[in-house]
Structure 1
């Protein structure tokens, strides 16, 4: 999520776990302390996703501490630093600098592309490993930063999967395409338009913003063109009133396809009956098809008394990959960790993880879902990178 809105909240940023310095020695033991930061929007419109990211990071830290990872004969104790980036670029850069100043060994999260891209420059300048567990805009890993990675597919792959689904199963000849002008929304929208045109699908494009609540004018314009489907590149907060207004305008015969920023239980809950039969994509295999899904979900439910959301397993794996890099490098030195990440070969909850030269996950998948009886139901994988 890939992802995705700008919040209007205050820029007072809580670091929920301010811990000891990088590679410091515990006062009462010979342990080394390795602080891993997990950043996400724990306030604002995407707070549920950000909380999921932080919860999953906590589970991974506990799992790492259960292992006997050592550096120079000393046990490494992992500690979590949780940070709220509010899905806002300015807040995100403040958070990023605070994390750098706090001497974390690596940063995981920043699931919104509009946040991940600017903060990646800060982490690059500081020489700290950064693994996004959600940002899907291709720009993130196209900047040439050797410290930047992601564990989900990018929007180029997601767009290809969406267009395959539109032209294949939905047999769409004409689509309306709406994006919210965020880094995520515009990036995904641009690629969908490009791939759709290449596939012979006629595209009518409209734009909104990530604070909008009234889409009737846009929908009325699109309805006049008799589209077979409407694609929305935005978030669940935008998609809920969007599909409700489609229903109110009598557009039940027009397919709706949303990107991974939309494909959440929160969207289905808020949109209610208006979400029924609608489609969405996610950059990854269906949760139930992830190799470690059952164990991860049970662990998550036990700890937090609720099911994980989309970015949880990817955040968990990203934190575990940092631990594996420390094991591989036999060091907490930031540069050696970056070098280790470039050669990582790890199998986790989401499957096999290796990074290409840019830092993208080699084995990322794209899946399609449909809302059935108020549940997001998998239709399977439609594309792989």
Structure 2
């Protein structure tokens, strides 16, 4: 009679068990789309860092979905803040088999990319993309985790008139989906209050010399200039306003409140006012702990929107976990009806995919730092 060694049998069973466990593991790709090169690269990297922190935190909990051990992996793509590139990026992410996408940063890139994700049937959770038009396309795959510019422009207009007491208001916008849309909503808010703008000027998102538009505005003696655009242009705009001796407050919304603005504007940025979607980080439910984790991991400050990228990633994965599936056809209905306690606040979506009850914060540059002035909207709205 032949006797098999017990240790050999045990080893065989162990190897078989490990092989079975390995087969049960699954890697799930989450796409990240944003500007990783160009003038807004620091924003794109900030978004990527926030999303990666979310992925790492989820993986630490050893998630199991559909009976399989799951490891989430971030696949980042650079849309260069260019709508045409964004469409190619969206298709590349879809072709790679991502289960869902966090992105894009710009409204102008999110709008065309949204159709690609919708046609593929996967969720797109925008951490920013504040232009309302993004979710007005009617795609049931589009979501955002911060307020949109219809609300932001309205709040900005009310603050300009009621708090800043501005009456002679000029508007400049960069003709992008974000900048022009924001400026339009700001003007609507002024109109509703019986205030008519004294001038409206246009630039594009590559303009670096604002002399011509500001010279035209200066002749009309403004007390406030509202700019629909981002921080990389707002900084030289602020500098030129000071150089031309225009005694007017510069105001913007959604994209001004970054360290880059302060670095580029230096002393010329003093007194600039901006309205930003969301709460100040120290007022976010998980803001302080997130900031500590971010600085510990990346050894730098949060540039702007990393907490929102973190929440966009976490709420997407939370829907998969609750649905017990990474199949978008299964988790999408759960995502539409989710109620998630995030770092930035509670996340729930309306019928269009917009964040319910969004908050906005008014900031002002005081002694070279952005200082919160007041919080508008939120649950009291």
Task: Confirm or deny a common fold (TM above 0.5).
Answer: yes
State the 1:363 CA deviation: 2.5
Q: Which residue of 2 aligns with 1:239?
A: 234
RMSD value, Cα: 1.4
Is 1:347 aligned with 2:310?
no
Q: CA contact under 8 A between 1:173 and 1:200: conserved in structure 2? A: no
Q: 1:26 to 1:323 in 2, by over 3 A?
A: farther
Q: List per-residue Cα deviations over 1:88-126 (Å, max 9, x = no partner).
A: 111111110000000100000211001000000000000
Unaligned runs of 5+ in 2: 1-18
Unaligned runs of 5+ in 1: 1-24
CA distance in 1, matches of 2:21, 2:243: 64
Q: Which residue of 2 aligns with 1:8?
A: none
State the 1:71 CA deviation: 2.1
State the 1:217 CA deviation: 1.6
Q: List per-residue Cα deviations over 1:236-275 (Å, max 9, x = no partner).
A: 1111111111001112x31110112222110110011100
Q: CA contact under 8 A between 2:286 and 2:344: conserved in structure 1? A: yes
Q: Which one of 71, 94, 99 corresponds to residue 93 of structure 2? A: 99
Normalised to the residue count of structure 1, the TM-score between the two structures is: 0.91
Q: Which one of 182, 188, 192 corresponds to residue 188 of structure 1? A: 182
Q: Which residue of 2 aligns with 1:321?
A: 315
State the 1:371 CA deviation: 0.6
CA distance in 2, matches of 1:137, 1:127: 22
CA distance in 1, matches of 2:301, 2:330: 36
Matches within 5 A, 1:19-168: 28-168=22-162
Q: CA contact under 8 A between 1:141 and 1:359: conserved in structure 2? A: yes
Q: List per-residue Cα deviations over 1:66-86 (Å, max 9, x = no partner).
A: 224322321111111111111
Q: Which residue of 2 aligns with 1:335?
A: 329
CA distance in 2, matches of 1:70, 1:284: 32
Q: List per-residue Cα deviations over 1:197-247 (Å, max 9, x = no partner).
A: 111222121111111111112112112212120000101111111111100
Structure (1 or 2) with the larger CA radius of gyration: 2
How many residues are paired up? 360
CA distance in 1, matches of 2:231, 2:195: 25
Q: CA contact under 8 A between 2:158 and 2:189: conserved in structure 1? A: no
Q: CA contact under 8 A between 2:130 and 2:254: conserved in structure 1? A: no
State the 1:27 CA deviation: 9.4
List 4+ stretches of structure 1 deviating above 2 A. Answer: 25-29, 382-385
